[in-house]
Amino acid sequence: MAQHGDADILDLDATELRALLKARTLSSEELMRLTLGRIAALNGTLNALVSLKDGDALLAEARAFDNTPHDGALAGLPICIKDMVNAKGFPTTKGSPALAGTIAQADDLIVARMRAAGVIVIGKSNVPEFALGSHTFNPVFGATRNPYDPRVSCGGSSGGAAVALATRMVPIADGSDMMGSLRNPAGWNNVYGMRPSWGRVPAEPAGDTFLHSLSTEGPMARSPADLALLLSVMAGPDPRQPFGLGGVDADLTCPSPDDIRIGWMGDWGGAFPMEDGILQICETACRRLAEIGARVEDVAAPFSRDALWDSWTTLRSWKMASTLSALREDPATRDQLKPEVVWEIERGRALGAGDVHAASVIRSDWFRTAADLFDRYDALVLPTAQVWPFPMDWNWPRSVAGVEMDTYHRWMEVTIPASLAGLPAVAMPAGFGANGLPMGIQLIGRKGSDQRLLEIAALYHRHTRWPQERPPHLPPA
């Protein structure tokens, strides 16, 4: 039925696959069979996907789809769900032995929206324990390896999703981002990841829905068009929650390059240590935007690096303590938590109301400062990481460019400006270093400018196409 070779089918973007499925020139069963073949060939080495559903059951689900109308925006597409999110009938371990074996009894909101749009959930994507740290390893499923060099990290916490995308195990994937968890693995795996404006994709309507606004779910894909497709399904307010933004349009219109103003922020005026080669490759990516016709300017550091860090670590630890303290207090689970989890909980529990308020004031000051910058620029650009993918046997980099790291996440400090202010950011492939490893740039916009960022990213993709031009070297499916 398909009009392409088998390998070509898996190389197609989600938007292209959806068109073939809708036209019935490709069957969902055929796509699923190829998907399962690719997973069988690669996942044993890379360990990107976990808790996979039985293959025969998935093929039966795909055949059932082939006998129904193709109405949903994602109908017939296979997808993995990040193992921080509940998908009914699948385990939700969050990479922790404290939760191993926990079977989700219902879909979380974003999974329900994706299922309503027609996806076929094939399994979960691997994460660091409780998604803490940008290196995907945990004591339940083990480590996920980078497809460009299995000896190094794939990043995290959406590392399994990024690897599955890069290797064509899935055409789209969900992720989540607190401190770069969508952006760093996208950059390290030569794919796209989007942290939407906070509130664009509602969190699960459980527990507190007012106070904690650092993390958000978002889409990952191999093109901005696919980001927009998945985000159009995930986004939109939930009436059970007090904050929310409207949806986005799945159809992107590339803007005129002459209308695009880009601010290159580099290493924040020397404040963020960077390994050799990262700034240069990211500057080259900015030049591609300039070559297309955008106006690109250097931007001096607009805010205190120390103030951003102090605000971020206070609010993050406060969030972690409120979320995970029950596991720390339970004798059955307290000794099953990794040291970084314990550190966040204990630090957060030691904070007072005045500490949290002071951190929120700094956050507010930064939001206002950023808003003024966006009067001059459509987007600000930073690297997606301060280091290249590091060896698998490291827990985290202890130093960056000769500067000692004082916490397990300090090396990801470059992601804080967008996260702290709840700003949208699209991670885009920037190219490859002399080491053969990928790096990315963050395209950061004013809150609410998600559509505009996606359109700029689509223009960039049209002239670069890094995921398509330089995929990992893979055996045939």
The contacts of residue 216 (CB under 8 Å, 6+ apart) are 176, 177, 195, 196, 198, 199, 200, 201, 203, 422
| Tens of pLDDT, residues 213-258 | 999 999 999 999 999 999 999 999 999 999 999 999 999 998 999 9
Cα(390)–Cα(385) distance, integer angstroms: 11
Cα(213)–Cα(316) distance, integer angstroms: 10
Cα(309)–Cα(359) distance, integer angstroms: 10
Residue of 27, 28, 82, 124 marked catalytic: 82
Extract the tokens encoding 420: 């702290």
| Tens of pLDDT, residues 378-390 | 999 999 999 999 9
Cα(45)–Cα(150) distance, integer angstroms: 8
Which single residue is written with the structure tokens 């999110």? 85
**What is the per-residue pLDDT for 254?**
85
382 beta partners = 442
pLDDT, averaged across the chain:
96
Quick one: pLDDT band at residue 476, thresholds 50, 70, 90? low
CB-neighbour burial class of residue 379 (10 A; exposed 0-12, middle 13-18, buried 19+): buried
| Tens of pLDDT, residues 267-287 | 999 999 999 999 999 999 999
pTM for this predicted structure? 0.97
Three-class SS of the chain: CCCCCHHHHHHCCHHHHHHHHHHCCCCHHHHHHHHHHHHHHHHHHHCCEECCCCHHHHHHHHHHHHCCCCCCCCCCCEEEEECCCCCCCCECCCCCCCCCCCECCCCCHHHHHHHHCCCEEEEEECCCHHHCCCCCEECCCEECEECCEEEEECCCCCHHHHHHHHCCCCCEEEEEECCCCCHHHHHHCCCEEEECCCCCCCCCCCCCCCCCCCCEEEEEECCHHHHHHHHHHHCCCCCCCCCCCCCCCCCCCCCCHHHCEEEECCCCCCCCCCCCCHHHHHHHHHHHHHHHCCEEEECCCCCCHHHHHHHHHHHHHHHHHHHHHHHHHCCCCHHHCCHHHHHHHHHHHCCCHHHHHHHHHHHHHHHHHHHHHCCCCCEEEEECCCCCCCECCCCCCCEECCEECCCCCHHHHHHHHHHHHCCCEEEEEEEECCCCCEEEEEEECCCCCHHHHHHHHHHHHHHHCHHHHCCCCCCCC
* Per-position b or e across 101-128, b if 16+ CB within 10 A of its CB: eeebeebbbbbebbbebbbbbbbbbbbb
Quick one: pLDDT band at residue 6, thresholds 50, 70, 90? low
Extract the tokens encoding 240: 């059970």
**What is the per-residue pLDDT for 371?**
98
Cα(217)–Cα(430) distance, integer angstroms: 23
**What is the per-residue pLDDT for 181?**
98
Q: Are 71 and 118 in contact (CB under 8 A)?
A: yes
Quick one: pLDDT band at residue 475, thresholds 50, 70, 90? low
**What is the per-residue pLDDT for 18?**
96
Concerning whether 82 is annotated as a catalytic residue, the answer is yes
Q: What would be the CATH architecture of the domain defined by 6-469? A: Alpha-Beta Complex (3.90)
CB atoms within 10 A of CB 470: 15
Residue of 181, 197, 223, 419 marked catalytic: 181
Q: What is the rounded average pLDDT of the residues 111-115?
A: 98
Cα(189)–Cα(89) distance, integer angstroms: 29
Q: What angle do CA 318, 220, 160 make, to 5 degrees?
A: 75
253 vs 141, 383, 458, CA distance in Å?
A: 41, 25, 8
**What is the per-residue pLDDT for 69?**
85
* Per-position b or e across 214-228, b if 16+ CB within 10 A of its CB: bbbbbbbbbbbbbbb
| Tens of pLDDT, residues 280-324 | 999 999 999 999 999 999 999 999 999 999 999 999 999 999 999
| Tens of pLDDT, residues 81-95 | 999 999 999 999 999
Residue of 157, 232, 311, 317 marked catalytic: 157
Concerning whether 157 is annotated as a catalytic residue, the answer is yes
Concerning whether 181 is annotated as a catalytic residue, the answer is yes
Task: Report the share of the chain in percent with pLDDT over 70.
Answer: 98
| Tens of pLDDT, residues 145-191 | 999 999 999 999 999 999 999 999 999 999 999 999 999 999 999 99
Quick one: pLDDT band at residue 1, thresholds 50, 70, 90? very low
